[in-house]
Structures are given as C-alpha cells and as structure tokens.
Structure 1
Amino acid sequence: METRRFSSRIFAFRTRKQLFLLALVGLIASCAIGLFSLVADSGFELSWQGWATIAVTLGVFVLNAIATLPAEIIFLGGTGVLYVSGILSESDALAGFSNPGMITVAVLYIVVTGLSQTGGLNWISQRVLGLPKGQNAALLRLMTPVMGMSAFLNNTPVVAMFIPVVSNWSRKLRISPSKLMIPLSYAAIFGGICTLIGTSTNLVVNGLLISATDLPGLKLFDLAVVGLPCAIAGMIYLFVAHPWVLPNRQPVISENDDVRQYTVEMMVSKNSPLAGKSIEDAGLRHLPGLYLVEIMRDRLVIPAVSPKEILRDGDRLAFIGMIDSIVDLHRLRGLQPDTDEVFKLDTPRSERCLIEAVVSNTCPMVGLTIREGKFRTQYNAVVLAVARNGERLRGKIGSICLRPGDTLLLEANANFLAQQRISNDFYLVNGIPDTEPLRHEKATLAIAILAVMVFLTAFGLMSMLKAAILASIVMILTGCCSSIRALRNIEWSVLLVIGAALSIGKALESTGAAGAIASSLTHFAGDNPWLALAIIYGVTNILTEAITNNAAAALIFPIALALSKSLDVSFMPFAIAIMIAASASFSTPIGYQTNLMVYGPGGYKFTDFMRVGIPLNILFWLITVTLTPLFYPF
C-alpha cells in the first residue's frame, strides 16, 4: 500500500511538471505567433535574417525551459546556427566572448578566489551576515547589505563576492542555497536602480539623455524617488512569497541522516583571535552536524561544554562531526590540528588539500597506532581525523589503533591521490574539493586589495575591467591565491552562456529584429502618454530578458524619444522608465549577468526564474508607470 501511494505521488508530481512545461511551451508558442503576426501587420519590412533570428531566439528559450541539456550547450548551439547560416559574421559571433562585461566576470572570479583562500570571505560572512535564526531573518540579513552596497558599487563584484559566502552560510544555517541565491542577485538589482551610479545602464541612458535632448542630466539620487519604492516592494515580495516561489533545489543534510562521523582534535593556537571568546562567539556552536565533546585544558577535562565557556590559548577541543563541518574547523583562524605532524610535511601548506581514505585489510598500518606505524613518514600525509562507524575514538590522534574500514581524513599533497588510488593499502581514496589550508596571514591584504578595487571603480578612476584585472594580478603576485586555484575557480560554463547570449543579442540588434518588435508594439500607444510609458517600459523589460540591459536601453531610447516628441510631452518620464526597465531583469537567467552567476551555485532551472521573476516584473512595471509621472510630469 505504501509503495502504491508513493508511486502515485511520483506520478502526480511528474504529471504536474509535464503539464507545467506543456503550458509554458504553449505560452511561448502563443507569444511567438502573436509576435510574428504583430511584426507582419505593422508594415515593418524585416528580412529573412530577422525572422530567422527571432525563431532561433524563441527556440533557445523553449529548449532552456524543457530540455535537460546544459544552458551553455543550448546557447552555443543557437549562436552556431546564426553563424553557420550567415546571419552573424565571424566577428559578431565571437564578439560576445570578448565583451568587457564577460571578461570582467571571469577576472572577478580570481579576485574572489583570493578572498576565499585567505579567509577574507569568512570574515565578511561573520561581520555582515552573522547567524540569524530562520529563513526570514536570513533573507533580511542578506538582502539589506547587498542592496545598500549595489546602490554605489557595480552589481557584478558585489554578487561575485557574496556567492561563496552565501554557499557556506546556507550550509551553516541548514538552508538550501536555492533559497538564497536568487534573492542575492535580485537584491543587487534592487540596489542598482536606486542611484545614478548603481548600474552602467543608468549611466548609459543618462549620457544619451544629455547628448540627444536639452534636458539636464540626472543627479546621484534622482532615481531614488521611483527606484527605492520598487526596491522596497521587491524585498517585501520576496520576504512574503519565498516559501512558495523559491525552489528547494539542493536539500540540506538533515541532522537525522546517517552520515559518517569523524573524531577530530583541534588546538587553540598561541595568540589566537579566538582566545578570550566564548564557544558561541567563536562560531563553534553553529556548525551543522558537529558536536563539541569536551575541552582539555592542561590536566583539566571539561565535559558537556557550555556555549558560554571562554576559550584560552592551548585549549584542546575534541569534536565529533560530519566532513563538511570538520573542513570548516580547519578554515577557522586561530585553530590548528592538535598534532605537530602537519608542520613536518615536505610540501608547503598552500599546496596541500584534504583527502579521505578508507583503510584496507592489507594495509601495513592495521593493528598499529598512527604514531607506531609512522604514518607521516610512510605516506607523506598527516591523519587529521578518524571515522569508525560513528564511534567516538578517545585519546590523541596518534594513539588511535587503525582497523580495516576506518576512514581517515588526511592532509597531503594532491599527488597522494594518484599514488594511492592504485595501492592496496586503501580501499578508496577521494579528494575533497576546495580544501587547501587558508592563508589567514594574508586576509587583511586581500580585503585591502578588494577595497582599493572598489574605490577605483566607485570614483571613476578606472573602469571595472581594469580595476578587476589589477586586483587579480596583485592577488596572485602577493600570494593571496595560487594561479592554479584561480584558474580552476573560474566558472567557465557561466562565461560561455554570457558570451553566447551577447552574440544572440547582437543578431537581434543587427538584423533589425529587436527594432521591428519594439516599433510594432509602440503602435498601441495612440495619444495616451501613460499608455505609451507603460508600453515603452514593457518593451524594454521584455528585450532586456533576451539581450543585454545596455543594448535594450540603447535600442529603445531613440524609439521612446520619437514617441514623446510625437505626443508633445516631456521625455524625462520615459528616460526614468527605460533605466528601471532595462535593469529589472528577473524572469530569465540570461537577462542579467548576476542572474547567470547564481544560476549554477543555486542549482536552478530556467523555469525557476520565470516563476519567481514574472510577478516581480509586473510589480515593478506597475510601480514605475504609476510613480514616474508624479515626480517627473509629462
């Protein structure tokens, strides 16, 4: 009976999913038919290249919604079709992959790697985010500072900096990353529409406004009268609707799950910043799946440790917990493994990683303690923790007698993996990614490099790309991150999607397809300036979901200017609407680069953005069209 009930639930789930996808495809098909009819009836002469580009773009949308292929494959395929058919020239097809925005994203991954490898991101997480209780509080603690920073800084570095922080933070809070990554991207967009320097789009439109009209340019906070209400409404929407609209793509591990439990001992190092802090203030009480068994202080053993217990230099802390939390312990500044062996390995710590290995019954170490078998000398690796069927292993690590089936957490050179995978000493050898020991002594330097980068871009002394390249070079030269790790941390799939999306947008623009769509839709405005404003906002918003925000704004600007002149009204409301609509890209991951950046880390599907973003797009549309004429009359 239970099996039948479970099967019926699975069938119902699949049926609902199939119905949703079918409805989605039907909606896209209906929009496509209406779009083709609208352009055809408008009398706008569009070449076959324009029609083909519209078809390919819609095809990319449909495949992203229903196919299981990676997004980068679909977008590269669409770009390939446009290039092979001759619609895109070779230079235009490749232009997206040399776009400064895409290169900036790539370089920022290197900057973030420097922050991560020095522990600078952990400091930011502790100082800015803290450890709130519950998802509502977590959303508020995340979105408020991100929105404030994005109002004065470029959105891309803000989101790039917070992605690894939020990934680690969500695990500590036992919240799926998919519940926080979309709010991270959207909060950056919310902040960007509140000031003139919040996004490059605002500056582009303001420059066009000054050069093409007699109107004065906007001041720093002129956008806030419309942008701030939109941002507040967006935060309220996500705060209220997140349980229903945000997916749970990557469920966190439950405390009741049967996970491997390690026994590990750590020591509070000399002059540690943790000394003098309580267990709770030191962040040792909120690591998921980790239990502080006791503190050994000189000859005194403190069991059942209170969260108010004050740490001292030289304290030895015994933990039992899961692997991810053990890794977090090794990332905490001021804690070190309670063994001198880690300082005796030949390999520099910056070139080591953490490795799991299961002891086989033919291992020569079986029946011997780790110290007696001279494990470090034998394997050039140090045992940091041991797991044995959830059993707590007492005594120092070196005094543990190994048995077949014991799982060891080792610190070793990466070459250990290649050497021991073919050995009979271990059943299984598995590397744990991103576990190189942190370079805490360079954390202040890494944060200073980030601050200089922000300063240079905020005051216009350098472009975002130049400042990011300078910061990445300094990060590597000063040893804040290794060149190998920096290259490995670049999300190449995200960059491929950005480059291909930019190339498809170029095809929409160069073939006249985007202009034809925009001109056709504006015929509905008639003599009503409010309706014209609503249509301009809507067309800009639709285009920015398919092409870059700057391209959408630049494309609509001359159309909106001509429309305002034909209606004999002020152009300023239209300029404000274009700025907000071009940045308010919520319904697709390709519409805004920060959406693309959180797409992978959040484990999202293409349709997740539509479910969360479409109501938000409509909300921003209503607020902007209602408020803009009140502050900037026609």
Structure 2
Amino acid sequence: MTLPVDAGITLALLAVTFLLLFATRLPPTVIFLGALTAAITLGLAPVTDLLKGFSNPGVLTVGVLFMVAEGMYSTGAITLIADRVVGLPATLTAAQVSVLGPVALGSSFLNNTPLVAMMIPVVRDIARSTQLAASRLYLPLSYASILGGASTLIGTSTNLIIAGLIIDAIAAMGAEAPPMERASIFFPTPVGLVAAAVGLIFLVLAGPRLLPGRKKEEGEEAVRRLYGAEFFIAADSYLRGKTLEASGLAHAEGFRLASVRRSGRPAPAVEPGLTLREGDVLTFSTDTDGLPALWATIGLVPLNTLSPQDTERHRHRLVEGVVSPQNSYLGRTIGDLPAPREPYEVKIVALSRNGTPPAEPLREVRIEAGDNVVLEVNDPFFFQNRNEQEYLILKRLRGYRIKMESSGGLVVAAPVYFGYVPAMTKAWLDRLVPYIGMDMSPTFPGSCPVSFIFVQNMPDPSLFEPALRSFTDAVAMSNLAVRECMIAPDCERGVKPPVTERPDQMEREYALGRDLIAMRPEAKNEF
C-alpha cells in the first residue's frame, strides 16, 4: 500500500515542526503559525478545519484568563499574596516547597489555567530577586497544578467529564446499571491526594537534577551601561518597616543597592537586616534589564520629579533616552526642578554619564547634553516630544508596569449556575481568591469597598436573593467591606438581549461604581 501524497506531506510537515521546536530557539507561536500557513498553502485540509481550533471555546477561555491574570498582577494583588504565602526563599528547595504546595492546594478548587497564569509573574519576580533558576520552577509549577487539580472533582475538567458520564449512565440504564454512585466533590481525593504528594516529592527531589539551570550567555560579562537610580520610601509605603532581606532588595539580580540615606541621620550600613523607614532614599546601581523590575516594585517611588504628574502611576511608561543639546534643563541641577509651566510631565528614574552612575546624589547632578536617562512618562509625553527636541528616545523599557496600589472600589461580577452548586461556588472562588489572603484578610492596602453583580437568566430577581445575600454576608467576614449586592435578571446568552443593550441595567451598574468611588474620595482611580 502506498502512502497518499497529502499524508506524506503532512507527516513531513509535522516532523519539521517538531524538529524546529527541539533544535531552534524560535518562539513556538512562530513555528506553529508557520506550519499552519504551510498546511493552508498546500491545501492539506479544508481551511475551515485548519482554523477550527481558533474558535474553540477552551482556547478562547485560556486567552481571556491570561488577560485576567495580567490584570491581577498589575493591580498588585498577586504580588501581595505571594509576599505573605511564598516570601523570599533562600534556596531552590525552599522556593519549590513554598510555591508548589499552595499551588497544588489552590488548584484543587480553582481552575488550573488562571492559577498558573497568575503565578508565572510571581515565580519570575522570585527568581530575579533571589537569583534562583526560574527554569527549575516554571515546569514544576505546571505539574503541581495538574496534580492538585486531580485531587477533587472540580479541580480539573476531566474529572467533571467522568462525573457527567457516570450520571448519564445511571440515568440511561436505570436499575440495570452496574453498581455505581454519583461522584461527590471529594470522590477522587483518596487516590488523587496520594498521587499529588508523591508527585510533589518527586518534583522537589528530582526536578533540580533533571531541569536545566541558569546558563551564562557568551559575552554576558561584557561592559554594560550602568545607571544610578534613586527611590524613596513614602509614609504609606508597603516596604516601610520591612528589612532589606524581607523586601527582596538585599541580594537581588539585576541591580545593587549602593546606599541608603536618611535625612538628618548618618547613612546606615547597607546590610540585609536594615529596616526601611519613612523618608529613606535608596540609591541603586543597575542597567536597563534590572531597572524595570525595580521601578515596578510596590512601595518604591522615584525621588526626582522634573515636572509634576497628575495621572495615576499605573498608567505610566518607562523609556530610555538621551538628553538633547536643545534640552531646556541643561546646566540645571535635578534638585532645582521641577520648573513651573513645563509642558512635560516627567520623573527622572535613573541617570548614567559615560556609562557609569554618578558618584554624587542625583539631586546634585547638573544635566548635560548626552546624558543617558531613564524617564517615567505618561502617554502625552510621546506627542509632546515627537520632534525629540528635549530627549532622543532610544527605546521603551517593556515587560513591567506599575502595580495599582489603591482602588476606589472593587466590583465582582459572577454568573449564577443552576442545578450544580459546586460549579456556582467555584465561579465565586475563582473571582475572589486574588483579593483575599491566606489569613482571610483583604490583600488591598487600606480599606476597599466591594459590591457584587450577580447575573441570572431567570426573570425573577428575588428567586435566589436569600442565597446570594447569605454569600455576601460570608464574604464580609473576610473584612472586605461589602456595600451592595445587585442582581441582573433575565440575561440568557444568545437568547435574550445582553446587559450592554439594556440602558436601565447599565445605569444601575454605573451608579454602583460611582457610589463606590464616592465612599473613598481619596482614591484617584476612575471607575
């Protein structure tokens, strides 16, 4: 029997795809999209079949969950939880134990995908702060979520599918069905818990030997441009009262703490046990690889402001540039600024001269043409500096954004599922877990009011109101200030008009958010 031409070409395409995955450093997305393009061009299958995966609800759900995870990281909620649960482990084994255990436990009741997606930036931050090999944490993180998810019925979709098949078999066969009973939420726990424990022990013991560590690239020790960066500890700083060791600033990768200045006091020695206080000025020596992580650290604020910024910091960007010969600040010290009526809203985060950080504090440095600077800017800056009269922009420093440390309020929206209580509870837990710490305290700095919007397809808004009120009362026990519980009835996807096409409901929801902001006038974040 001869192999059809199309089948032979398909096998060859698959072989090339796997070869590129194993033997090259091309991003997997590029390889897979290239294989898909080749399959479409060669007509190996109908285009609708080749593109069907992009319309799969599971794929779309995963994509949306990654955006949700990024939002959780940007708000700082995930970082605050990680500080409490994980901390800053000193060894790889301690990091694996502190990360894998909570992830396995959480995945028993939460969806694996958003949990792993939210933990990826946490693992990255831990690796950079402790100089541990992230490559030995990422894969165990995924396996731990899989092992933990198999321990309960709702921990993984495959268990739910099996439970559904059991229910269908019992209903179809009736009295003739073999001896079986409906699977409860903890039905797989006796086997799954043992398997998870064995798997986690294997990951901790064998993972460091089987997974690659950090490798220094050729030329990594080459001379790099180093910047001097200054940050201060504000009165409400998350780092106030923490030691350098606990805050991750003592032995971090990518930057070095050069000095700590205290107004009116002798400069304390930079030691891991030094406790940070309000008003402390921290001077770092860093390059453009380590600076973004430092800039995005919760509790650190750039010291030097060239001109006031009225926009929220989580909307700002970080750019590297060179001071232009036409810059209006030439010859002036940074301490003399901000200047009145300047068109730019800029903070100078770091400065480098001739490839090295200045020896004196940045406030005493006179700005010269050719100085390399890293600036914190808002979006209008790029239009105002479009002719690069003030700064020649080299590049935007990407990969990090300022985490939103305060909020006018939190609105949690959750659908109401009927006939399956565990699914309804799981939906609530999936939405609430980023905002509640392990000790049942809210992870937001300060008091944050929260309101709920429950969406149901039944037209009677009072149908499930007692149960929903009981749930919000239970949430209030975690110290979240529950303000309102709103029910959006008669919303059935694809059958009835969506909420966005119902002006009365949209106005109620907008008023709910507006009232939350009014309760905290000091919060500047807009609804």
* Global fold match (TM > 0.5): yes
User: How do 1:408-557 and structure 2 match up within 5 A?
Assistant: 408-414=373-379, 416=381, 423=388, 426=391, 429-442=394-407, 445=410, 449=412, 459-461=422-424
Aligned-partner SS, 1:320 = strand
- 2:111 pairs with 141, 144, 154, which one? 154
Aligned-partner SS, 1:277 = coil
- 8 Å Cα contact 2:321/2:374 also seen in 1: yes
Residue aligning to 2:273: 308
Q: Normalized per residue, which structure has more strand?
A: 2
Aligned-partner SS, 1:280 = helix
2:422 counterpart letter in structure 1: F
Aligned-partner SS, 1:440 = coil
CA deviations over 1:83-106 (Å, ceiling 9, x no partner): 677775554433311212111111
- Structure-1 separation of matches of 2:226 and 2:67: 34
1:223 counterpart letter in structure 2: P
1:123 counterpart letter in structure 2: L
Give, in angstroms, the shift of residue 199 of structure 1: 0.8
Aligned-partner SS, 1:147 = helix
- 1:110 pairs with 60, 67, 77, which one? 67
**Larger deviation, residues 209-218 vs 126-135:** 209-218
Give, in angstroms, the shift of residue 432 of structure 1: 0.8
- The yes-or-no answer on 1:126 pairing with 2:91 is no
- Structure-1 separation of matches of 2:36 and 2:232: 55
Residue aligning to 1:242: 207
Q: 1:289 to 1:157 in 2, by over 3 A?
A: closer
- 1:337 pairs with 302, 327, 340, which one? 302
Give, in angstroms, the shift of residue 82 of structure 1: 6.1
Residue aligning to 2:471: none
- The yes-or-no answer on 1:394 pairing with 2:360 is yes
- 8 Å Cα contact 2:254/2:291 also seen in 1: no
- 8 Å Cα contact 1:120/1:443 also seen in 2: no
Q: 1:112 to 1:309 in 2, by over 3 A?
A: same
Q: 1:375 to 1:247 in 2, by over 3 A?
A: farther
Instruction: State the TM-score, normalizing by the size of structure 2.
Output: 0.67
- 1:75 pairs with 25, 28, 32, which one? 32
Gaps of 5+ in 2: 170-176, 435-443, 445-527
Q: 1:187 to 1:398 in 2, by over 3 A?
A: same
Give, in angstroms, the shift of residue 142 of structure 1: 1.7
- Structure-1 separation of matches of 2:151 and 2:344: 58
Instruction: State the TM-score, normalizing by the size of structure 1.
Output: 0.56
Give, in angstroms, the shift of residue 130 of structure 1: 1.2
Give, in angstroms, the shift of residue 208 of structure 1: 1.8
2:102 counterpart letter in structure 1: P
- The yes-or-no answer on 1:177 pairing with 2:142 is no
CA deviations over 1:512-570 (Å, ceiling 9, x no partner): xxxxxxxxxxxxxxxxxxxxxxxxxxxxxxxxxxxxxxxxxxxxxxxxxxxxxxxxxxx
Q: 1:80 to 1:254 in 2, by over 3 A?
A: closer
CA deviations over 1:293-340 (Å, ceiling 9, x no partner): 444333113231343333333333333334455434433444322245
Give, in angstroms, the shift of residue 244 of structure 1: 3.9
- 2:193 pairs with 196, 206, 228, which one? 228
- 8 Å Cα contact 2:304/2:335 also seen in 1: no
- Structure-2 separation of matches of 1:153 and 1:322: 39
- Structure-2 separation of matches of 1:249 and 1:443: 42
Aligned-partner SS, 2:276 = coil
Aligned-partner SS, 2:282 = strand
Give, in angstroms, the shift of residue 441 of structure 1: 0.2
CA deviations over 1:173-212 (Å, ceiling 9, x no partner): 2134322211111111111222222210111123223423
Residue aligning to 2:158: 201
Aligned-partner SS, 1:318 = strand
Aligned-partner SS, 1:110 = helix
- 8 Å Cα contact 2:258/2:283 also seen in 1: yes
Give, in angstroms, the shift of residue 424 of structure 1: 6.5
Give, in angstroms, the shift of residue 440 of structure 1: 0.3
Greater relative contact order structure (CA < 8 Å, 6+ sep)? 1
Aligned-partner SS, 2:270 = coil
2:334 counterpart letter in structure 1: I
- 8 Å Cα contact 1:279/1:307 also seen in 2: yes
Q: 1:433 to 1:130 in 2, by over 3 A?
A: same
Residue aligning to 1:381: 346
- Structure-2 separation of matches of 1:368 and 1:424: 17
1:349 counterpart letter in structure 2: R
- The yes-or-no answer on 1:191 pairing with 2:155 is no
- The yes-or-no answer on 1:274 pairing with 2:239 is yes
Residue aligning to 2:478: none
- Structure-2 separation of matches of 1:424 and 1:262: 23
Residue aligning to 2:318: 354
Residue aligning to 1:299: 264
- Structure-2 separation of matches of 1:261 and 1:69: 30
Gaps of 5+ in 1: 1-35, 41-46, 472-479, 481-634
- 8 Å Cα contact 1:195/1:221 also seen in 2: yes
- Structure-1 separation of matches of 2:428 and 2:393: 44
- Structure-1 separation of matches of 2:430 and 2:269: 51
- 8 Å Cα contact 1:177/1:250 also seen in 2: no
Q: 1:270 to 1:459 in 2, by over 3 A?
A: same
Q: 1:379 to 1:398 in 2, by over 3 A?
A: farther
CA deviations over 1:147-179 (Å, ceiling 9, x no partner): 111122111111111111112221112134322
Q: Normalized per residue, which structure has more helix?
A: 1
- Structure-1 separation of matches of 2:45 and 2:116: 32
**Larger deviation, residues 254-263 vs 302-311:** 254-263
- 8 Å Cα contact 2:260/2:282 also seen in 1: yes
- Structure-2 separation of matches of 1:80 and 1:291: 46
- Structure-2 separation of matches of 1:443 and 1:316: 29
CA deviations over 1:351-409 (Å, ceiling 9, x no partner): 321111133567564443235586782654221222234344323x3431124543212
- Structure-2 separation of matches of 1:120 and 1:160: 14
Q: 1:185 to 1:444 in 2, by over 3 A?
A: farther
1:351 counterpart letter in structure 2: R
- Structure-1 separation of matches of 2:430 and 2:290: 35
Q: 1:127 to 1:222 in 2, by over 3 A?
A: same
Q: 1:442 to 1:393 in 2, by over 3 A?
A: farther
- Structure-1 separation of matches of 2:13 and 2:289: 43
Residue aligning to 1:5: none
CA deviations over 1:24-64 (Å, ceiling 9, x no partner): xxxxxxxxxxxx99xx9xxxxxx998898777656644553
Q: 1:206 to 1:357 in 2, by over 3 A?
A: same
Q: 1:425 to 1:148 in 2, by over 3 A?
A: same
- 8 Å Cα contact 1:125/1:169 also seen in 2: no
Q: Percent of aligned pairs with the same residue?
A: 34
Aligned-partner SS, 1:75 = helix
Give, in angstroms, the shift of residue 123 of structure 1: 0.8
- Structure-1 separation of matches of 2:417 and 2:75: 21
- Structure-2 separation of matches of 1:90 and 1:417: 42
Q: 1:251 to 1:420 in 2, by over 3 A?
A: farther
- Structure-1 separation of matches of 2:401 and 2:206: 39
Q: 1:306 to 1:186 in 2, by over 3 A?
A: same
- Structure-2 separation of matches of 1:462 and 1:274: 35
1:94 counterpart letter in structure 2: L
Q: 1:421 to 1:258 in 2, by over 3 A?
A: farther
2:346 counterpart letter in structure 1: A
Aligned-partner SS, 1:218 = coil
Residue aligning to 2:282: 317
CA deviations over 1:448-470 (Å, ceiling 9, x no partner): 859x79999993128979988xx
